[in-house]
Structure 1
């Protein structure tokens, strides 16, 4: 029975996204000047290839010629799913230019366009439906500038249309949107979750005296606090562009941290120093979190508010995971099931993380070449 359970766990873990840590995002920048709106829309080539097919020869690589011949299709597909309007009516949108740019998670198509509105708007109504029929988790991150003021918004299927005031941006809505995005980011960050759970699994067994809940809580608190302080530090530094590391190095190091945290449950490596391990590896995980904000290119004023909201959301999402894990782990701590979970489950986690590490370090699944 236990072997079947572990096999099932292995199959479930194997189905987790391996090479791509960052979820599907696009970056939309709008600058409103009178009746004119200048726009730039960065969309991942991997997402466009899935949606409309860019790899014409099917060799798993994209060349500049393949992308250039699909410029009209890219513009048509994207702009059909973006609507700009004022209270006086719809704005007409025209494509200006298409380029290619590198983001932290790969190559992006850069679509530049101009929109002409019926009047100089007091508010801009934006409808966003990119990839809505293909990926319900896709998000559009907006940077809107007007008269030197920058505001932000996040579009998803449940918030596909938003009315944004240009004169008085809704700061609370912007902040809460990034809190929600931070929660979601940690919940779908399988490598972050497995790293944290690997460090927390021994907590209910190491607590003294007699494996009491208070002792387990204190042990968990030490680990979570160390992880939080570390990733908050590097998230802030990286988002403010004070420190930068290559994305491939960061993602590979995150996978390596999951391996070591899981192996520690089978063969002790840290020997009572799990909070220090959480802090050390948490520094690396912070760089992974920062990729969401780095690519949006916000000015410092707007960035600080978004950064605080996003980091708060990450912590809330993390605490929700701990709140579910700790009581269940404490109830099961004396069972054979939990001891098998600690060893067998950790071995499975280490194996899955090893696959992640190989794919990320060697870039095995990379499909984009220099364009």
Structure 2
């Protein structure tokens, strides 16, 4: 009982320390989205920018009064353009500019019409897009392309972020390798921006070298046993999230984020507690698969919200999933040597408890913010 009181006290104290820290973010939906509707001599861009990110980047108000909208219009015009291969910029007109709530938090919405300056139109154009990106390193913009009259769904063209704010858009359909690569990069960007997924994997692996006896962690596996346990856990998580990612996206099912997001945070909390004291010892594989299924719902929801071709093709969906796996494998490759070295040292126990307590505290914060008890 004393151990549980100690664990709860540590988690509560750390959580209270983290409550004011708005930078402790977990899984998020796409930051900005630009959908390009390609016509013969014009391109119409539907723009979605989170109002909170816009306000942070500019210091401007997210209001619909004349002065605020004038500032927003000038900001977008200065940070968005389309040019042909000669470098000549297309004419630009911004319409339907407003701050509105479509679903979730308030967004800055706009329609930008780009018109070719001459009669000839190149086979490819370059979009330059830097609203919010220049001021916010972890913000990114998803660029989609809808070729009018083609009957095709919107296609994922790529991602833009700080230091990479230009993308070439072919007027015809992109090749398979470009679509696959864009989907893979989307997976990488998503998992890198999803601290909750990374935190879950960290604490899941943290207890892999340990052996449970009488309801406590009381021993260590040998190196071979630790590596085997790590591989089994990572494989179980991969199987779980891959099944729900593919199943939900291809079936077209919709699941409310108000349920999925707190559930993901709860898996992080349970796993963090397990890293302190065993609560599902010798059932780690089953738990990794089940929790992977829950995290896969978050991945699927992200793909569905992009409204891109990545969710309608097994090949590009596989590219997105492979992008997720790339980051997971990279984390394991970096973490395992440190873990194997640390597990035989006296520091292992305090480091394990400290990391598990910190992750547990963040997960409590995510849970209460995602169910609306405090601002997220």
Deviation at 1:145, TM superposition (A): 2.5
SS for the counterpart of 2:97 is strand
Aligned equivalent of 2:123: 122
Show the counterpart of 1:58.
Answer: none
Distance 1:106 1:303 in 2: 29
Which residue of 2 is the match for residue 191 of structure 1? 196
Shift in CA distance, 219/187, structure 1 to aligned 2, threshold 3 Å: same
Q: 1:330 to 1:300 in 2, by over 3 A?
A: closer
Normalised by the size of structure 2, how large is the TM-score?
0.82
Task: Give the match for residue 59 of structure 1.
Answer: none
Matches within 5 A, 1:1-371: 14=18, 17-19=23-25, 21-22=27-28, 25-53=31-59, 55=61, 66-69=63-66, 70-87=68-85, 89-98=88-97, 100-103=100-103, 106-117=105-116, 118=118, 119-146=120-147, 147-148=149-150, 150-151=154-155, 152-167=157-172, 169-206=174-211, 211-240=221-250, 242-299=252-309, 304-365=314-375
TM-score when normalising by structure 1: 0.83
Shift of 1:348: 3.0
Cα distance in 2 for partners of 1:186, 1:280 equals 19
Question: How big is the shift at 1:202?
Answer: 1.7
1:356 Cα deviation (Å)? 2.0
Deviation larger for 302-311 or 196-205: 302-311
Aligned length, in residue pairs: 347
For residues 92 and 361 of structure 2, what CA distance do their matches in structure 1 show?
A: 50
Deviation of 1:253 (Å): 1.4
Change (3 A) 1:344 1:35: closer
SS in structure 2 at match of 1:243:
coil
Compared CA separation, residues 228 and 16, structure 1 to 2 (3 A): farther
Shift of 1:83: 0.8
Give, in whole Å, the separation in 2 of the partners of 1:109 and 1:132: 15
Structure 1 residue 302: deviation in Å? 6.0
Deviation at 1:323, TM superposition (A): 1.2
2 CA distance for matches of 1:101 and 1:32? 26
Q: CA deviation at 1:168?
A: 5.1
State how far apart, in whole Å, the 2-side matches of 1:335 and 1:83 are: 56
Distance (whole Å) between structure 2 residues aligned to residue 19 and residue 197 of structure 1: 16
In structure 1, how many angstroms separate the alpha carbons of the residues matched to 2:336 and 2:29? 28
1:37 deviation in Å?
1.4
8 Å contact 2:275–2:352 — kept in the other structure? yes
Shift of the alpha carbon at 1:322? 1.0
CA deviations 1:90-142 (Å, max 9, x no partner) are: 21111231353535x63322211222112333112111112233112222211
Deviation for aligned residue 1:46:
1.1
Asked whether the equivalents of residues 29 and 305 of structure 2 are also in contact (C-alpha less than 8 Å), the reply is: no
User: Hey, what's the Cα distance between the residues in 2 that align with 1:231 and 1:165?
Assistant: 33
Question: What are the ranges of 5 or more consecutive residues in structure 2 without an aligned counterpart?
Answer: 1-9, 213-218
> Compared with structure 1, are the counterparts of its residues 188 and 299 closer, same or farther at alpha carbon in structure 2 (3 Å cutoff)?
closer
Distance in 2, Cα, partners of 1:139 & 1:364: 25
Distance (whole Å) between structure 1 residues aligned to residue 273 and residue 123 of structure 2: 57
Distance 2:71 2:130 in 1: 16
Note the C-alpha offset of 1:280.
1.6
Cα gap change, 1:30/1:68 in structure 2, threshold over 3 Å: closer, same or farther? farther
Closer/same/farther in 2, CA of residues 194 and 167 from structure 1, 3 Å limit: closer
Distance 1:168 1:305 in 2: 16
Instruction: Evaluate the alpha carbon distance shift between residue 286 and residue 68 of structure 1 in structure 2; reply closer, same or farther with a 3 A threshold.
Output: farther
Distance 2:23 2:251 in 1: 28
Paired with 1:236 and 1:77, the residues of 2 have a C-alpha distance of 39
